[in-house]
Amino acid sequence: MSRHTTFRYCLDPTVEQSVMLTRHAGAARFAFNQSLAFVKTALTKRKTCPEHPVPWTRFDLINTFNTWKKSEAAGRVFAVGADRVAEIQVTGLAWRSQVSQQVFEEAAVDCGRALAAFSDSRTGKRAGRRVGFPRFKKKSATVPAFRIRNKNTKAGWAAIRIGGDQIARSVMLPGIGAIRVRDDTRRLRRMLTKGRAKILYATISFRARRWWISLATEASDLHPAQHHQPREHNDDGGWVGIDRGLGVFSVAATADGVEIARINSAPKPLVTELDRQRRLAKSLSRKRKGSHNHRQAAARLGRHHRRVADIRRHFAHQVANRLVKTQDRLVIEDLNVAGMLGNRCLARAISDAGWADFARLLSYKQAWRSGALATADRWYPSTKKCSACGTINPALSLDDRVFFCGCGFRADRDHNAAVNLAKWPTAQQDFSRSPDPRAGGRVTNVRRREGADRHLVGVGETGPVDAGTDVHATQVA
């Protein structure tokens, strides 16, 4: 069995290689805009001629662009001889041979995906927020990026290789050459050498004044020793509930009331570095747009945001790894994070906690280890319900950090919620979901986002991500 995962590294290119990477990113943006122009032109002509074809799919866009780039419509280069006679030297894009042709094809594929998302959103095939018609990519407002597929050369070598030219920390890209990498690539190189991984494609992007590469790979499943032992068919116990909070990042407890883990020391990088962020933002606002100082100030602010995100993601990986390695059955609650962000008093703290990303990490990490992850109903009163007698206290507020019940039960608020979550898989048949007062009835169509699916996550329901601990070389989605 295989799984898809991504390895991300920070590149250390030379000046010439940086120019080449920028040229490839510009070619990708140009191909996307040109493919979108083909679609808009065809739609305009279709108003007068209904039978006019429109290149809508990715294959049609690739064929249309490949035909256009070699035609006279893409441009011509003339040369005037000594006899003052002009002759055509190049027909089509004169610079098309300076970049990898895969960049054009992948950009056309991206345009096709955007058009498919637009059409599926209009017809109702795509869930979630409504997707608009694709727009042209602006150079000053688009992240420079391009994608290259890993094809085998005529000699049988893979086009994308790790550790080429006898340099361990390097990556070989077609048309660019070997680029040094700042991070350690030993783990990926071992997997490639043993045949336990295969690079599918590479995405190179320029963020925070640095070039990054994301290698999407198809890796083999984890070692059987790292998998959880299967339980009996009639065994419905062993669940561990995880309650997420702000003061306490997470509390894990069993249905018997045994506390497994309590994570108090969350880094909270946004709140900690807020003063520095304000200074950098103020410095950026005082620079003239388009100047060299403005670009440098924007780069400093971008590196700051990158560092904050890396700290938050690294901490979430550590906590998720600790839980999935020790527990084979986990229960989390389906939090409406997007709705909670409407609270102006808690929006910053909720965003800094990264609840949605933490649930996503638990989902695919637990599935990789043959574990189970259940998502409790969004309207399940895990916090207001007594874990001893089952009585619901509707008067419980956010200021009440200790849960009291008329039966004499007294416990920490987060601990009580974690115990109730651990009991949810066995008691979900007897639980009746309360109606949504804003919707005016019972909720029946919760969007499948942020862990909203209400079934046990089994093996195979994973995303193209992996667990990692290093900040720059971490495996991401």
Q: pLDDT by residue (tens digit) across 302-341?
A: 999 999 999 999 999 999 999 999 998 999 998 888 888 8
Residue (of 262, 219, 255) closest to 422 by Cα position = 255
HSE on the CB side for 244, CA within 13 Å?
25
Residue (of 23, 18, 13, 24) closest to 171 by Cα position = 13
Residue 165 pLDDT = 67
Q: Are strands 329-333 and 240-244 parallel, antiparallel or unpaired?
A: parallel
Average pLDDT rounded to a whole number, residues 355-365: 91
Helix (H) or strand (E) holding 359: helix 355-368
Residue 160 near residue 174, CB atoms below 8 Å: yes
pLDDT tens for each residue of 310-320: 999 999 999 99
Residue 195 pLDDT = 87
- The encoded tokens of residue 404 equal 């009291």
pLDDT tens for each residue of 143-188: 999 999 998 777 778 889 888 667 889 999 988 888 999 989 999 9
Q: Report the distance separating Cα 43 and Cα 36, nearest Å.
A: 11
- Average predicted confidence (pLDDT) for the chain: 84
Q: Which residues contact 440 (CB under 8 A, 6 or more apart)?
A: none
| pLDDT value at 431 more than 80 | no
pTM over 0.75: yes
For the CA atoms of 19, 20, 21, 22, what is the dihedral angle to 10 degrees? 50
Residue (of 334, 368, 338) closest to 475 by Cα position = 368
Residue 231 pLDDT = 85
Residue (of 413, 298, 365, 358) closest to 3 by Cα position = 365
All domains of the chain in start order, with CATH? 239-430 (3.30.420)
Q: Report the distance separating Cα 307 and Cα 300, nearest Å.
A: 11
- The encoded tokens of residue 256 equal 């018997």
CA angle 82, 87, 93 (to 5 degrees): 130
pLDDT tens for each residue of 176-223: 888 999 989 999 999 988 889 999 999 999 988 889 999 999 998 888
